[in-house]
Amino acid sequence: LPIVVHVHGGGFVRFSAATSSYHDFCKKVATDATALVVSLNHRLAPASCLPAAYQDLVSALHWLRAQALLSTSDGDASYADFSSLIFMGGSSGGNIVHNALLMVLESSKSKRALLPPLSFAAQILLQPFFGGAHRTASELRLSDGPILTLAMSDQLWSLALPDGASRDHPFCDPLAAAQPLPCNLPPALVIVGGRDLLHDRQVAYADFLRESGVEVKLVEYPDATHGFVTPDGTVSYVFMPEVLQFI
């Protein structure tokens, strides 16, 4: 079975793998996709600022590698396809997936070989949470969104970023480095909402992936606000066929 590594959202500062909406979502993915789902509990800001959450995801990869090396014909591990790793994150979870993958892939000489025998098949980013010092058109137009406002976004970044870092930090703005991403990033599904204030940043990120040589599928739901991809969202689960097809 493919392994889906799920990273919850919450702006880096709240929720956990045990939060009911995320737990239910992971159960649905496991059932509908016939997959093994590993749901990450990561440290939260401001007690543990970034890159703590990224490091926790990398640590989870080391744990998965240990399971792969120790797997036998008995137990759940025997059903796991460690060569088909799919990472999925919503909002801040999508940001964590992006940055943790960079940490691993930039140190890897083998295409898509994260930590042998692990191999990366795909990444699914659901309304990934990115920012920047400059304001985009969607941030200005949709600054008072029903779930995420621009003021809330700024506050979350002030709590999550390392001391002294601005929103131009690459953790926040992946385009700030002005250099291509590693071409060995796996194919990406990026899901965005047309009424999400982060819309323009998410589309720019998808374009950046594509320009870096990464295969990208961008899917937009025009009337969706930020957070619609969660089980409590107003457009609940409408995106699931896209996710299942990608897995």
Please state which CATH number belongs to domain 2-246.
3.40.50.1820
How many Å apart are CA 133 and CA 154, to the nearest integer? 9
DSSP 176-243: TT-SPPPTTPPPEEEEEETT-TTHHHHHHHHHHHHHTT--EEEEEETT--TTTTSTTSTTTTTTHHHH
Q: Would you say residue 231 has pLDDT above 60?
A: no
Residues serving a catalytic function are: 91, 196, 226
Residue 122 in contact with residue 186, Cβ under 8 Å? Answer: yes
Q: How confident is the model at residue 232 (pLDDT cuts 50, 70, 90)?
A: low
Tell me the percentage of the chain whose pLDDT exceeds 70. 91
Cβ contacts of 93 within 8 Å, gap of 6 or more: 6, 7, 8, 9, 10, 126
pLDDT confidence band for 151 (50 / 70 / 90)? very high
Helix (H) or strand (E) holding 126, with range, is strand 120-126
Tens digits of per-residue pLDDT, 66-107? 999 888 545 555 689 999 999 999 999 999 999 999 999 877
Summarize the confidence of residues 5-30 as an average pLDDT: 95
* pLDDT at position 25: 92
Determine the pLDDT at residue 73.
47
What mean pLDDT value characterizes the chain? 92
Whether the pLDDT of residue 236 is over 80: the answer is: no
